[in-house]
Amino acid sequence: MARDNDPMPQSHEYDVLIIGSGAAGLTVALNLPEHLKVCLVSKAEISSGATLWAQGGIAAVLDDQDSTENHVQDTLAAGGGLCSEDAVRFTVEKSKESIEWLIGTGVNFTRDTDAQLHLTREGGHSHRRIIHAADATGHAVSTTLTAQAQARPNIELMSGRVAVDLITNRKLALPGNRCVGAYILNLDDNHVELFRARFTVIATGGASKAYRYTTNPDGASGDGIAMAWRAGCRVANMEFNQFHPTCLYHPHAKSFLISEAVRGEGGLLKLPDGSRFMDRFDKRGELAPRDIVARAIDHEMKRLGADHLYLDISHKPADFIRHHFPTIYEKCLAFGIDITRESIPVVPAAHYTCGGIVSDERARTDINQLYVVGEAGFTGLHGANRMASNSLLECLVYGRAAAADITRREADIPPPPEAPAWDESQVRDSDEDVVISHNWDELRHFMWDYVGIVRTTKRLQRAKHRVDLLSREIGEFYSNYRVTNDLLELRNLVTVSDLIICAALQRKESRGLHYTLDYPGLLHEARDTVLIPTTYRTPSP
């Protein structure tokens, strides 16, 4: 029931509501015409998502020695035969203009002494095509785009807001298959607010917090994927969870990854005795795609009973290391590790969700006026394994595509209908928060143990049994208590974990990031794993 002196929940109306403030959401906002009233909401501070921590860079064809075809073929090869070639070509062909737009916003990319953009190379790439800002590209992109958004009078930025659920015509008992906004929790007063909008964009990132070890920030709890699934959107390829091979292994180093660019510039993976091992797993050695490198490290750790291995770039000149990797150098030094003189202890960690909400080249989903951009979406670009530095490119290309589609359609889309305020009259504050923390820990432990880098059918079935129990328990909790950030994140993580497990059980082969001991070979035909919710309706053209 309502508490004394509680403020009345607020109601808002916009032309475009963007949920998520990383590169994807900001790109959409900044490419919309300035006569549209736009709201961009973020869980924590604006620019606190995964984009901020991206170290490596953005893949694009910018060098005369490179070509669109090279980038396309590299991406298709890394994707394990499951990429949509149309989506890959669409993305790569628009890479140069997207980078030019980004440079135009003021992002200060690293340049050579002759003022040319410095391009580096990462695993899976046949050419140097990674544009970067030292080893803190995400920070440069995120802070620059945020500053641009803050300067636009038509864009309102709201932090401390957590999306609860999408509002659709079906939920309002109205005809049609349309999204008309979302209910969003205001963390300042713990009330759920009504946000109505003609267009809604999901840009919430991935779901790597479903795992015990991850490189992602705390907000990566699969909120957008879970909300879209509940609203009636299909999701695809959720079994393909990319584990970054090299996360810094240190008790106080939370979620700090060691960029793939370290291996691209000559870093070597080593066992505790100092010997190399990657050549035994792939002829490309340290430059093999991430899934191969992560499995190799996982294999060697289990074989040796080691809790971590090592990445060594100390054979390079100290000035070279400090110049190319200043963030990594300073971070490691803060933990007593001088990477110019010693190896870096590393361990694989959940890093990227390759599947997500099914969308097209315009970033449209199965629900009218609902878009998805970035890691929350499934475009077909990544296939069974995302190639390094294609993710920020996807945010830019599809963010601009979504904005262009909204711009084309906005004159024809009427204002959103009226919707009821969030009803808190039948719930109470929880005095059992320990249940949430316990269930959170249980979920992330069994996902790591049973649905990790190497899987078996029996492990997946055990995980499915556990997630079903958690789902029922959390559903009851959600129905009876006032919502909180922790409860909403746990609810969403349980949903996306179930989607990951169900997709993994359906795939009877080992392909890309999905490796199962029960089906080590490849099927002759590569097919996406598309999950369809009971609330799904065939989308209109």
How far, in Å, CA of 454 to CA of 299, rounded?
9
Smallest CA-to-CA distance from 113 within 330, 323, 267 is with: 323
Active site residue: 290, 295, 444, 459, which one?
Answer: 290
How far, in Å, CA of 382 to CA of 84, rounded?
8
Task: Specify the pTM.
Answer: 0.89
How far, in Å, CA of 245 to CA of 261, rounded?
12
Q: What is the mean pLDDT of residues 293-317?
A: 93
Q: What is the mean pLDDT of residues 66-85?
A: 96
Least-confidence region, from 26-35, 115-124, 290-299: 115-124
Three-class SS of 103-122: HHHCCCCCECCCCCECEECC
How far, in Å, CA of 302 to CA of 296, rounded?
10
Helix (H/G/I), strand (E/B), else coil: 391: helix
Q: What percent of the chain has pLDDT over 70?
A: 95
Q: What is the pLDDT of residue 540?
A: 67
**How far lies 229's CA from each of 165, 223, 458, 492, 496, in Å?**
10, 10, 26, 10, 9
CATH 1.20.58.100 domain locations along the chain: 432-517
Q: Is pLDDT at 49 greater than 70 in this prediction?
A: no
**Highest mean pLDDT: which range of 49-53, 221-225, 422-426, 473-477:** 221-225
- Give tens-digit pLDDT for 359-390: 999 999 999 999 999 999 999 999 999 988 89
Q: What is the mean pLDDT of residues 489-509?
A: 97
Q: What is the pLDDT of residue 1?
A: 38
- Give tens-digit pLDDT for 247-304: 999 988 877 889 888 998 999 999 999 999 999 999 999 998 777 898 899 889 889 9
| Whether 184 contacts 41, CB under 8 Å | yes
CATH 3.50.50.60 domain locations along the chain: 12-239+354-410
- Which residues lie closer than 8 Å to 494 by C-beta, 6 or more apart? 439, 443, 467, 470, 471, 474
CATH 3.90.700.10 domain locations along the chain: 242-351
Band of residue 132 on the pLDDT scale cut at 50, 70, 90: confident
Architecture of domain 242-351: Alpha-Beta Complex (3.90)
Least-confidence region, from 93-107, 212-226, 464-478, 505-519: 212-226
Band of residue 5 on the pLDDT scale cut at 50, 70, 90: low
Q: What is the mean pLDDT of residues 332-348?
A: 96
As a whole number, the mean pLDDT across the chain is 91
- Which residues lie closer than 8 Å to 363 by C-beta, 6 or more apart? 201, 371, 372, 373, 377, 379, 398, 399, 401, 402, 405
CA 11 to chain centre: 29
H or E stretch covering 76? helix 68-78
Q: What is the pLDDT of residue 139?
A: 84
H or E stretch covering 93? helix 85-93
Q: What is the pLDDT of residue 340?
A: 98
Which one of 3.40.50.300, 1.10.645.10, 3.50.50.60, 3.10.129.10 gives the CATH number of domain 12-239+354-410? Answer: 3.50.50.60
Band of residue 86 on the pLDDT scale cut at 50, 70, 90: very high
CATH of region 432-517: 1.20.58.100
How far, in Å, CA of 375 to CA of 356, rounded?
7
Answer yes or no: 290 catalytic. yes
- Which residues lie closer than 8 Å to 66 by C-beta, 6 or more apart? 127, 128, 129
Q: What is the pLDDT of residue 277?
A: 98
Q: Which residue has the higher pLDDT, 431 or 70?
A: 70
Q: What is the pLDDT of residue 2?
A: 42
| Whether 218 contacts 300, CB under 8 Å | no
